[in-house]
Structures are given as structure tokens and as C-alpha cells.
């Protein structure tokens, strides 16, 4: 048992409440499978690990994809490979955009202040490519309503399975889960998870603040991704901060 897992996770996994949530999630996956082929958007975080396992319990050969920002932790890519997840690279990486536009005080930009829609380039376009090339009808992803008020509204409005304007169906099997359910599921299924969680637990970072994300993002302060990176991967942090000095103020 890694440092991220706790004895109470195994206890929680025995509760009827947890078992009902797992069965509800599996039933949502079965309903989605009746619509057509399912793929999984995989980030390397604990929620996407659970979603991938839930979907493959119903559809064992379901494809999955990690949309590589160009700033992923090496362990994220290794975990994805070990779980048979495709790695899709966008037309520009986060580093490409940051250097071109001079983000975070990069010293030699091509066009300082040039506007990029990072979400479109790094997530939306690769997601569309994954759906089209794999001929998917349903895309599953790991959103939980308990993560934030915005996600709570999203989950309550959409429920577990909904169709977007692009006619793709979207599956959120963890919509009603909380953090205890996620770790209980990982413990009960003995799933592999990102080693950053063990490192963050050993550093006494509270569970609610533990995040696995790419090394650069448009936000980062306090217990944000840059602060976590500084503690979890200090060498990688120093290399980034030398190139993007403003990151020191964001951690």
C-alpha cells in the first residue's frame, strides 16, 4: 500500500453507499455502451484512473487517450503507456505557446502578448481528433460534482450521460462520487495510480489539495500546480523557472 492509500479506504469500500455508487457508475457505462463505441479521456489523475477501469470492466478493449500538453510529468506518460492509453500531441504544445507569446516573462518571444486559446489547442482539438479517428460515439471523462461549485452545477445539470451540440455523447460515471469513493475504488480494485500522490502524501499535502496535472498551466498559486511541482519535482521546477521567471511568484 502506497503512502497515498489509507486503512480507511479499504473500510469505506465495504460500505453499501460506496457499492451503490460503483454499481450506478457501471450502469451508466452500460447505457453508454448501448449507444456506441466508448473512449476515455485520460489525464493520469486518480479520477481518470477510476473512469478507465470502470469503462474497461464493461468494454475491455475501450480506447483511451492522453492529450499531451508537452509539459506532462514523465511519470504521467509512463502510467498512460502502462495502461494502454494513446498519447496524442497537439499542433502546438504549452511550451510552444509560452515561448512564442512570452508567457511568464520568457525572455525571447516571437510575438509578445500573442493570444492563444490554450484550452482549444491542448484539449478540444485533440479530443475531437480522438473521437473522429477512433469513430467514437461516447467520450468518458473524470468529472466529480464534489470537486467545486462549478462542477457540481455541471454534474447536476448534465447527470452521468449527456449529448453535446457536436452530437457526441459524454459520460461522467463519477459525477456523484466524492474523494473517499475514488480512493476506496483504487484500493478495492488494487489499481495503479500516479506516484505523485504518494510523494504528496509523504509531504503532508492534504488530499483535497493533491492534484496531478501538467507542469505548466494558466493558473498556479498557493497549493496550485506550480507549488505542488516545486515540492514534488524540484529539478523540473528549477528548469522551468529559469526559462519562465514569473513562475517564482506563482508558487
DSSP states of 113-139:
T----HHIIIIIHHHHHHHHHTT-SEE
Q: Is the pLDDT of residue 224 over 60?
A: no
pLDDT recorded at residue 157? 77
Q: What's the pLDDT band for 228 if we cut at 50, 70, 90?
A: low
Helix/strand/coil for 162: strand
pLDDT recorded at residue 104? 87
Which residue range(s) make up the domain with 122? 7-191
The reply to whether 233 falls in a domain is no
The reply to whether 243 falls in a domain is no
- Of 142, 229, 151, the C-alpha closest to 193 is 142
Q: Which residue has the higher pLDDT, 240 or 197?
A: 197
Q: What is the CATH number of the domain that holds 119?
A: 3.40.50.620
**Does residue 30 contact residue 138 with C-beta atoms inside 8 Å?**
no
C-alpha cell at 188: 478495492
pTM of the model: 0.89
For the chain, the average pLDDT equals 89
The reply to whether 211 falls in a domain is no
Predicted confidence (pLDDT) per residue in 101-154, tens digit: 998 899 999 999 898 898 899 999 999 999 999 999 999 999 897 777 777 777
Determine which helix (DSSP H) or strand (DSSP E) holds 169, and give its type and residue range. strand 169-171
The reply to whether 153 falls in a domain is yes
The reply to whether 198 falls in a domain is no
Q: Which residue has the higher pLDDT, 14 or 206?
A: 14
The reply to whether 250 falls in a domain is no
pLDDT recorded at residue 220? 39
Helix/strand/coil for 40: strand
The reply to whether 112 falls in a domain is yes
The reply to whether 96 falls in a domain is yes
- Other residues' Cβ atoms within 10 Å of the Cβ of residue 212: 25
pLDDT recorded at residue 203? 83
**Domains: count for the chain:** 1
Amino acid at each position: 500500500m502506497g503512502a497515498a492509500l489509507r486503512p480507511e479506504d479499504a473500510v469505506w469500500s465495504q460500505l453499501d453507499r460506496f457499492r451503490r455508487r460503483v454499481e450506478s457508475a457501471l450502469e451508466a457505462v452500460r447505457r453508454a455502451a448501448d449507444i456506441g463505441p466508448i473512449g476515455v479521456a485520460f489525464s493520469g489523475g486518480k479520477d481518470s484512473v477510476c473512469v478507465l477501469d470502470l469503462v474497461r470492466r464493461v468494454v475491455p478493449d475501450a480506447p483511451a487517450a492522453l492529450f499531451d500538453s508537452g509539459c506532462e510529468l514523465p511519470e504521467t506518460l509512463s502510467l498512460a503507456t502502462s495502461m494502454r492509453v494513446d498519447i496524442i500531441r497537439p499542433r502546438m504544445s504549452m511550451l510552444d505557446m509560452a515561448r512564442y507569446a512570452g508567457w511568464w516573462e520568457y525572455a525571447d518571444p516571437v510575438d509578445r502578448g500573442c493570444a492563444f486559446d490554450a484550452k482549444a489547442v491542448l484539449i478540444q482539438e485533440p479530443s475531437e481528433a480522438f473521437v473522429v479517428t477512433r469513430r467514437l460515439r461516447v467520450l468518458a471523462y473524470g468529472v466529480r460534482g464534489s470537486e467545486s461549485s462549478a462542477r457540481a452545477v455541471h454534474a447536476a445539470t448534465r447527470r452521468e450521460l449527456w449529448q453535446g451540440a457536436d452530437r457526441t455523447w459524454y459520460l461522467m460515471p463519477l459525477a456523484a462520487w466524492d474523494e473517499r469513493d475514488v480512493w476506496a475504488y483504487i484500493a478495492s480494485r488494487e489499481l495503479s495510480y500516479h506516484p505523485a500522490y504518494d510523494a504528496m502524501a509523504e509531504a503532508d499535502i492534504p488530499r483535497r489539495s493533491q492534484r496531478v496535472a501538467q507542469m505548466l498551466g494558466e493558473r498556479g498559486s498557493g497549493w496550485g500546480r506550480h507549488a505542488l511541482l516545486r515540492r514534488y519535482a524540484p529539478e523540473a521546477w528549477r528548469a522551468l523557472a529559469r526559462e519562465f521567471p514569473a513562475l517564482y511568484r506563482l508558487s
